[in-house]
């Protein structure tokens, strides 16, 4: 007796029947030995076989009284409804009494290959279905737990691989593998809206999804998958693959998480190896949730790419990192609408980091045309940082001038809300710092002269005017309305003056500085 999964639930092969029928529900009434269920017959029974119902019927509710004259030696029913676990066969004797057969049967999930709008094959492994696929086919993975023994490579162009029941019920256990899926074909899709997979791995060992093809790869979509406990969730352009570009890569709606650990882990890695001149271009990372990784989203050598509306909580070192390798070139990147929280693994842990490293083989790292807008970054050691690494030259004046930090909510950092250790001034006006008085000065060698009570801002940052409330509700403090307390006198001057200067101007008059604003 063989038990396998088919379109909805269980397929049962009788000992003497060559073809399968499908059971959606099966209720056994011991009192009168009646089998009731919705049954789909794929094919008529083979010679000598017996189906309990009308052979060839489809989706009928049947009642099949078990008569003493009928042999039921091959009939089983499924007691465990969890796909991928063990089913128990049950034998029936001739008087209609159900008795345990002391036989367990492994349940194999079923994979369907669709082409031209219809099923063209059923398989017990994803790899077998992929090997039989041709361009424009769709592989549909039914609910169950699958345990591949080697990397599943998608190398057929225009192929879609998706689940029928969503990620919650379709589990790929890749914990024994170094890479679970490799996408090596253009126009490939893994998952889809509500049709993703859960891919489990082993921290320190497993990459869940690698996108890599010699000569370059384009138009790949990874959507609505759940990636759990992998060293790397999604790796686009693997380190060491030289001369390869990736374009039009969309990573959308995935959930990536690990158990927080000292082992290095990354959620989404985009970009090239050092000085390989590889590029990731025209791509989109959006609406993903990435938690507990060492780094949430890492981008190296990326052009014309948008990172938007992602949620990145509780990473250890960096939530979103741009240009972290020497000799690489990153420009025209927009980071918008993301929420990054509680990145606090060490004293330099940063919510959003733009790093500048040195050169490799004569190729100098370059960062330009970076836009940070509409992000909420809170509770990190440093919320946003523009950092020249020890091996790097400062971001140049022309390039730093192309970096926009606008309409972000920057608050509740442990050290700095915005930190810039370059020697060129960064424009970070019209951001919300967590307090209407604007940012505070911070401490240490990079402390600024800011006098507000909000998140700290370092030197080499233009922060005024700021927003009067959290974006999108705040207004520029340039348009602030001033009102006088009863019995107070008001004095305005062209520029903000220190208290000592006010004291010199108002010698002999008792005064209090309630709030200062730098109109310049």
* One domain, residues 454 and 428: yes
Q: Of 73-77, 110-114, 325-329, where does the model show the most confidence?
A: 110-114
pLDDT of residue 109: 64
From 379, 375, 368, 389, select the one nearest 413 (Cα to Cα): 379
**335 falls within a domain:** yes
Residue with the bigger pLDDT between 432 and 277: it is 432
* One domain, residues 397 and 501: no
Average pLDDT across the chain, whole number: 74
**213 falls within a domain:** no
* One domain, residues 398 and 475: yes
C-alpha torsion sign, points 290, 199, 193, 239: positive
**188 falls within a domain:** no
pLDDT of residue 207: 94
For 319, the domain range is 292-481
Residues 410 and 397: their CA atoms lie apart, in Å, by: 24
* One domain, residues 432 and 326: yes
Q: What is the pLDDT of residues 216-258, one digit of tens each?
A: 899 999 999 999 999 999 999 755 555 568 899 999 999 999 8
**484, burial (CB in 10 Å: exposed 0-12, middle 13-18, buried 19+):** exposed
What's the total number of domains in the chain?
Answer: 3
pLDDT of residue 9: 30
Residue with the bigger pLDDT between 470 and 299: it is 470
Name the H helices within 352-407.
397-400
* One domain, residues 417 and 346: yes
For residue 334, is pLDDT > 70?
A: yes
pTM of the model: 0.73
pLDDT of residue 262: 78
* One domain, residues 306 and 436: yes
Q: What is the pLDDT of residues 355-374, one digit of tens each?
A: 754 433 333 456 778 999 99
Stretch 253-270: mean pLDDT:
90
* One domain, residues 393 and 514: no
For residue 330, is pLDDT > 50?
A: yes
pLDDT of residue 452: 95
- In degrees, to the nearest 5, what angle opens at C-alpha 252 toward C-alphas 156 and 470? 165
**510 falls within a domain:** yes
pLDDT of residue 108: 53
* One domain, residues 350 and 379: yes
Stretch 369-383: mean pLDDT:
96
pLDDT of residue 65: 31
Q: What is the pLDDT of residues 425-478, one digit of tens each?
A: 999 999 999 999 999 999 999 999 999 999 999 999 999 999 999 999 999 987
For residue 329, is pLDDT > 80?
A: no
pLDDT band with cut points at 50, 70 and 90 for residue 43: very low
Q: What is the pLDDT of residues 80-98, one digit of tens each?
A: 233 333 333 333 332 333 3
* One domain, residues 395 and 315: yes
For residue 47, is pLDDT > 50?
A: no
Residues 222 and 209: their CA atoms lie apart, in Å, by: 9
**204 falls within a domain:** no
């Amino acid at each position: 007796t063989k038990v396998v999964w088919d379109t909805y639930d269980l397929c049962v092969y009788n000992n003497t029947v060559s073809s399968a029928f499908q059971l959606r529900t099966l209720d056994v009434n011991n009192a009168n030995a009646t089998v009731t269920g919705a049954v789909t017959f794929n094919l008529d029974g083979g010679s000598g076989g017996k189906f309990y119902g009308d052979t060839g019927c489809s989706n009928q509710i049947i009642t099949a009284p078990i008569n003493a004259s009928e042999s039921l030696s091959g009939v089983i029913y499924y007691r465990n409804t969890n796909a991928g676990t063990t089913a128990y066969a049950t034998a029936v004797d001739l008087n209609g009494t159900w008795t345990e057969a002391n036989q367990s049967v492994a349940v194999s999930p079923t994979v369907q290959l669709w082409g031209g709008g219809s099923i063209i094959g059923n398989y017990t492994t994803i790899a077998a279905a992929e090997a039989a696929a041709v361009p424009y086919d769709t592989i549909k993975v039914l609910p169950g737990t699958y345990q591949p023994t080697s990397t599943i490579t998608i190398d057929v162009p225009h192929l879609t691989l998706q689940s029928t029941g969503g990620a919650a019920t379709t589990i790929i256990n890749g914990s024994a593998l170094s890479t679970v899926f490799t996408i090596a074909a253009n126009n490939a899709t893994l998952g889809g809206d509500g049709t993703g997979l859960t891919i489990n791995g082993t921290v320190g060992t497993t990459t869940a999804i690698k996108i890599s093809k010699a000569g370059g790869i384009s138009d790949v979509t990874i959507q609505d998958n759940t990636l759990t406990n992998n060293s790397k969730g999604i790796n686009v352009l693997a380190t060491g693959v030289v001369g390869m570009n990736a374009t039009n890569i969309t990573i959308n709606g995935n959930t990536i998480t690990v158990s927080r650990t000292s082992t290095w882990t990354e959620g989404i890695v985009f970009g090239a190896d050092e000085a390989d001149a590889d590029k990731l271009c025209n791509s989109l990372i959006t609406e993903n949730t990435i938690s507990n990784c060492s780094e949430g989203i890492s981008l190296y050598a990326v052009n014309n790419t948008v990172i938007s509306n992602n949620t990145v909580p509780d990473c250890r070192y960096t939530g979103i990192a741009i240009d972290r390798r020497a000799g690489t070139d990153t420009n025209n990147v927009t980071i918008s609408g993301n929420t990054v929280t509680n990145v606090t693994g060490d004293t330099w842990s940063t919510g959003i980091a733009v790093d500048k490293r040195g050169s490799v083989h004569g190729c100098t790292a370059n960062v330009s045309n970076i836009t940070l807008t509409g992000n909420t970054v809170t509770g990190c050691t440093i919320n946003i940082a523009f950092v020249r690494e020890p091996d790097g030259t400062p971001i140049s004046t022309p390039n730093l001038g192309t970096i926009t930090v606008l309409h972000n909510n920057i608050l509740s950092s442990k050290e700095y809300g915005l930190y810039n250790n370059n020697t060129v001034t960064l424009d970070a006006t019209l951001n919300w710092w967590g307090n209407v008085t604007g940012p505070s000065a911070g401490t240490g060698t990079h402390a600024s002269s800011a006098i507000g009570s909000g998140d700290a801002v370092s030197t080499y940052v233009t922060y005024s005017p700021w927003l009067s409330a959290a974006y999108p509700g705040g207004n520029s403090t340039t348009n602030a309305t001033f009102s006088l307390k009863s019995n107070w006198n008001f004095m305005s001057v062209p520029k903000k003056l220190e208290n000592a200067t006010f004291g010199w101007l108002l010698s002999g008059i008792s005064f209090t500085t309630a709030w200062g604003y730098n109109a310049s």
